[in-house]
Structure 1
């Protein structure tokens, strides 16, 4: 009888199971990065093979053209005199994203970071393996739209990923949580009690005076 009671008591008081840990998003990040990197590398190879520098090929009149350019600067032909500095910065960005990926939970952060990672790696391939040499290779740009500087697939991927991450941060989506970050209820209750105490004291004082 005692054993049965003990067993029923133990079964009734089961330990509360902990919620399952949210899945990591490393695979999603790497998949997005791989798609961007592959698209960037393939289009650059085709541009070098099929286009001639200084001879634009019209797509939509003179507004949108294929224009082969060797860019020593950053995205959209900026900072052309700091090639090796830009290479080191891009390498640091890649390492930073890899470090963040260990705690990455948000799928949207995985997409944004994957876009940046793929774009950064795409341009780093040119920095390391194209002329004039390691760390100073010129990036292949080939698409010109109106007054906008000539660019490649990696450039809008990096910019688009950065814009996505800024938007996620502004609206309260952290990279290591699912959904928006939650405000601590205990802190809210403490703030409310602190705000209500002066009111209660003043009300008590008014009652004594009356």
Structure 2
């Protein structure tokens, strides 16, 4: 449920802020929000992050569709709050920019992503980009903590294996000891 709520709220926030940026920033000078630190500057990005691959928009769009399907496929296995937040932000970020690529000018699959947040010495970005970065951070944290998508922990498996180890060895030893009388060896056959 967290996955769905985070994805829907973050996606809606991205789309609303892009619509507001188009309405209020198009053809206007930059707006200083926090002096030179954060400004609003409308731009249309045909490429990927850092404006890379500007001539590859259809391929980036196809990759984003595949990534969306992968997130939805793996989301069925979510059993952890942390992974729910991570995948929710990831889906919102991917689909936020994918929507632009599919629906905005100049044409479907070639649409330019609306970016409007500007920091000094950093490429202009949007809410979807922020969501993707938050998702990356949460996914890294979950991985380092050893928490799987389903909520189980890698350490729990190691602890269970260590706990099962002596019991399994004892059971094998007992079976071997019990069956020792039943085994006929060469010396038994000579009697």
Query: TM-score, normalization: structure 1?
Result: 0.73
Report the Cα distance in structure 2 between the residues aligned to 1:65 and 1:153, rounded to whole angstroms: 14
Give, in angstroms, the shift of residue 54 of structure 1: 7.0
Give, in angstroms, the shift of residue 176 of structure 1: 1.1
Equivalent runs, 1:123-138 vs 2, <5 Å: 123-138=97-112
Equivalent runs, 1:143-158 vs 2, <5 Å: 143-158=117-132
- Whether 1:33 aligns to 2:12 is no
Give, in angstroms, the shift of residue 180 of structure 1: 5.6
Query: TM-score, normalization: structure 2?
Result: 0.79
Report the Cα distance in structure 2 between the residues aligned to 1:49 and 1:64, rounded to whole angstroms: 19
Say how many residue pairs are matched. 167
Does the 8 A contact of 1:77 with 1:151 survive in 2?
no
Does the 8 A contact of 1:172 with 1:181 survive in 2?
yes
Does the 8 A contact of 1:55 with 1:67 survive in 2?
yes
Matched residue, 2:39: 65
Give, in angstroms, the shift of residue 177 of structure 1: 2.2
Structure 1 segments (4+ residues) deviating >3 Å: 178-181, 184-187
Report the Cα distance in structure 1 between the residues aligned to 2:58 and 2:158, rounded to whole angstroms: 45
Equivalent runs, 1:91-102 vs 2, <5 Å: 91-102=65-76
Give the unaligned 5+ runs of structure 1. 1-26, 195-210
Equivalent runs, 1:81-96 vs 2, <5 Å: 81-96=55-70
Equivalent runs, 1:125-204 vs 2, <5 Å: 125-178=99-152, 181-185=155-159, 187-188=161-162, 190=165
Does the 8 A contact of 1:127 with 1:134 survive in 2?
yes
Give, in angstroms, the shift of residue 84 of structure 1: 1.3
Matched residue, 2:51: 77
SS for the counterpart of 1:103 is coil
Could you tell which deviates more after superposition, 152-161 or 173-182?
A: 173-182
Could you tell which deviates more after superposition, 135-144 or 73-82?
A: 73-82
